[in-house]
A and B are shown apart, each in its own frame.
Chain A
């Protein structure tokens, strides 16, 4: 990087890099590399909307004092039957500490409370943001596990993201969720809001596949299975309990979504899962995205206002304990807040 490069030159350079990732013959290359033929793009038949439960989690940093941080986490479940919400449930807003010690004790406690055993590896506090996300995953997996064990046969359990763990501690938990769902005849899918999945050394997966589907002149909802060897990054091969699928769920709106179904899902089960997904993806807010997941997200989201409230509660509590505002600012003060005022 030459510091004398002008802004215009840097924009031009960025554009060249983007173009290299999305070449003119992207679709042609993808067709050759993936081997996906027209027959591999399966139409989704319209069907009734049965019972669908969606689980999502949320985490937000409440205070970050460098050596010690406080995060708020919670998870929620939204259940729909026949396109009507049958219920919503949410875990209490939980504050977890990250630091100052190396090992996160709150994670151990939370994991033990949720799953009845200590995590086999534990959680490192080195990266507070990551630690906060894994703590959130813990509670989210717990809700998913509870839900998998209670949904009736033939219903659909939707998770946000992927059937892949970010922490090895969750490996047996996710395995248990997948296993429970399979045993009880509950369809399971994890749907990604966004994906970094690429093929052929960095070409994005979804635009290439959408282009290929368009070239095949396929309209209406569809799904296809993605060969795991097509995907570039090794992270997609580690900690995985699912197989990658891509589906466009709306009859009019083309919105390909990357999703994962449990490993070994046969075509019949995959088709049933896709049909159940499409049946709940007609909401006008985001046509083509399963609405129960959006509803779970809106239920669980920890908003700025909520964080403000928690911070106020903490300040008030500390004052009662004799810790003055100045000391609080010394521990958790952040000049970014001051900058915001100007």
Chain B
């Protein structure tokens, strides 16, 4: 008879024990350090595949049949606790690298008991093949980051709209500046940003009171930036362009966006839809609307723009008076950049089509001015791109189609559910991608964005969202399944994001670059020698 020593080495941890194509499961020692969001490698030596999965939950578990083993009286001490008490790990499959090194979607399961390990940076080399070109951060795994795995959003999908979702203080401005800097560096498409606070141009103070830098401080990338400003000192200091919009950039329908209007006022706007701003604005600035209806009816109207006067004859003078007052307010309130003639929108379009970041800097101008500028430029961009598509005789994207991304901060103001007041932005959201115009929708309240607009977004940058309703809306709208990452989204820290885009095969946890450090690195990069690509001599 033999008495055999049993092997006491525990082989049960860190090996795959379940579960399905959509969910992996394994156990680890009860005191092991693993975090939600950690990426793990599952090596399937039988199939020759390397699977990757992201930890979505950690649960205390045991082999004991007694569910209350840990709460019963005097259960403070256990012999060999780690043998039967452990952490159950739930992980979301990301995909697998096959024997040819090609990353594939997780349509199969690893062989039972495949070994689970924490991957090294080299294990993510496959990702460099699927990553895009607009770098925004480095891959995050649980509590740490993989410094050698930069996260880059594919520029080719950005005109299919992008959403940046974050509550205050989660690093939204830092992300946007980093994104802008990368766009300046790569120059793959035009990016329009309207900045009513002046923080993008010259920086300012962060929420914690630290000095922050602006896009002008990314000197190595200045060729990719064009700033139109109303600040004369900044224009001189940084060599910026002056911002000018003229009456012809304006349409009376812009009033819908800026004011709450009555039905009668809407009717006035509708009746003048065919007239340009260069006609409508001078008319209202000069007309005596109190006597206008009577004068037109009596045939005694002798003022300018008789065609406009004719259209307004049927309206009550009080309604016309409100419209007149508001137009005067617009003209006087925006006189720093709004004038009768001489617009730089054409120049803005040119810079956008040269794939630059165009920053519209209107510090201290307020929300109404911001929307006023944004709607006028957006309309002009849409008109230009639509015309361009028509000239080609098709609305499908030609190979050389110019691509522009328009940033809308606090987008719930103009892309909320219902209402026709924000028609230009809605058109852009629903049809813009056909013409190479995308929206970068930035908001703290995704649940207040129209679902139809969210459904058009293909790139989601999800930063900390405290509101459950907001998270659910995002999880339901993203093209990739984010529902299993809710705990991670809930626990995102400042400067962390989950980026889901159709270009990258799975949602990527990202530590967004700290802008100041990022541009310091970019500025320190060796500048391209002018001789590169040129022959160095004569033969």
Q: Which residues of A contact B (CB under 8 A)?
A: 75, 77, 80, 83-85, 87-92, 110, 113-114, 139, 142-143, 146, 250, 252-253, 282-285, 287, 291, 295, 299
Contact = CB atoms under 8 A, between A and B. Distances in A.
Interface in B1-28: 1-6, 8
Contacts of B75: 284-285, 287
A85 B6 contact: no
B259 interface: no
23 contacts: A75-B3, A77-B3, A85-B79, A87-B5, A88-B5, A88-B6, A90-B3, A90-B6, A91-B3, A91-B4, A92-B2, A114-B1, A143-B3, A253-B74, A282-B77, A283-B77, A284-B70, A284-B75, A284-B78, A285-B69, A287-B73, A287-B74, A287-B75
B77 to A, nearest CB: 5
B8 A283 contact: no
B5 A252 contact: no
A283 B2 CA distance: 30
A139 B4 CA distance: 13
B72 interface: yes
What 9 A-B pairs are tightest by C-beta distance, nearest first? A284-B75, A287-B74, A88-B6, A89-B3, A291-B79, A89-B5, A284-B78, A282-B77, A283-B79
Given A87-B5, A91-B3, A250 B79 contact: no
B76 interface: yes
Given A91-B2, A284-B74, 20 more contacts: A80-B79, A85-B79, A85-B80, A90-B3, A90-B4, A91-B1, A91-B4, A110-B1, A113-B1, A114-B1, A139-B1, A142-B1, A146-B3, A252-B73, A253-B73, A283-B77, A284-B69, A284-B75, A285-B64, A285-B78
Contacts of A284: 69-70, 72, 74-78
A18 B315 CA distance: 101
Contacts of B64: 285
Nearest to B7: A88
B6 A89 contact: yes
A84 B82 CA distance: 12
B79 A83 contact: yes
Contacts of A83: 79
A250 B319 CA distance: 91
A252 B74 contact: yes
Contacts, number: 62
B271 to A, nearest CB: 82
A141 to B, nearest CB: 11
Interface of B: 1-6, 8, 64, 69-70, 72-80
Name, among A87, A113, A284, the residue most crowded by chain B CB atoms within 10 Å (CB to CB). Answer: A284
Contacts of A283: 77-79
Contacts of A87: 5, 8
B83 to A, nearest CB: 9
Contacts of A142: 1
Nearest to B66: A285
Nearest to B69: A285
A331 to B, nearest CB: 29
Nearest to B3: A89
A284 to B, nearest CB: 3
A193 B265 CA distance: 91
Interface centre among B2, B8, B79 (most CB of A within 10 A): B79
Nearest to B76: A284
B74 A250 contact: yes
Contacts of A110: 1
Tell me the dominant secondary structure on chain A's binding face.
mixed
Contacts of B78: 283-285
Nearest to A143: B3
B368 to A, nearest CB: 67
A167 to B, nearest CB: 18
B4 A92 contact: yes
Contacts of B76: 284
A287 B76 CA distance: 10
Contact of A299 (B1, B6, B70): B6
A5 B5 CA distance: 57
Contacts of A299: 6
A84 B81 CA distance: 10
Contacts of A114: 1
A93 to B, nearest CB: 11
Contacts of B80: 84-85, 295
A284 B79 CA distance: 8
Contacts of B5: 87-89
B79 A295 contact: yes
Nearest to A138: B1
Contacts of A113: 1
A40 B73 CA distance: 29
Contacts of A285: 64, 69, 75, 78
A84 B73 CA distance: 22
Contacts of A250: 74
Contacts of A85: 8, 79-80
B375 to A, nearest CB: 68
A143 B1 CA distance: 9
A287 B78 CA distance: 10
Contacts of A291: 79
B60 to A, nearest CB: 15
Contacts of B73: 252-253, 287
A84 B77 CA distance: 12
A85 B3 CA distance: 17
Contacts of A84: 79-80
A284 B81 CA distance: 10
A146 B4 CA distance: 12
Contacts of B3: 75, 77, 89-91, 143, 146
Nearest to A86: B8
A299 B4 CA distance: 12
A113 B78 CA distance: 38
Nearest to A253: B74
A78 B3 CA distance: 12
Nearest to B78: A284
A80 B79 CA distance: 10
Contacts of A287: 73-75
A80 B80 CA distance: 10
Nearest to B75: A284
| Most chain B CB neighbours (cut-off 10 Å) among A85, A283, A291 | A283
Which has the most chain B C-beta neighbours within 10 Å: A142, A146, A285, A291? Answer: A285
A85 B70 CA distance: 21
A321 B318 CA distance: 107
A254 B4 CA distance: 36
B3, B76, B78 interface centre (most CB from chain A within 10 Å): B3
B64 to A, nearest CB: 7
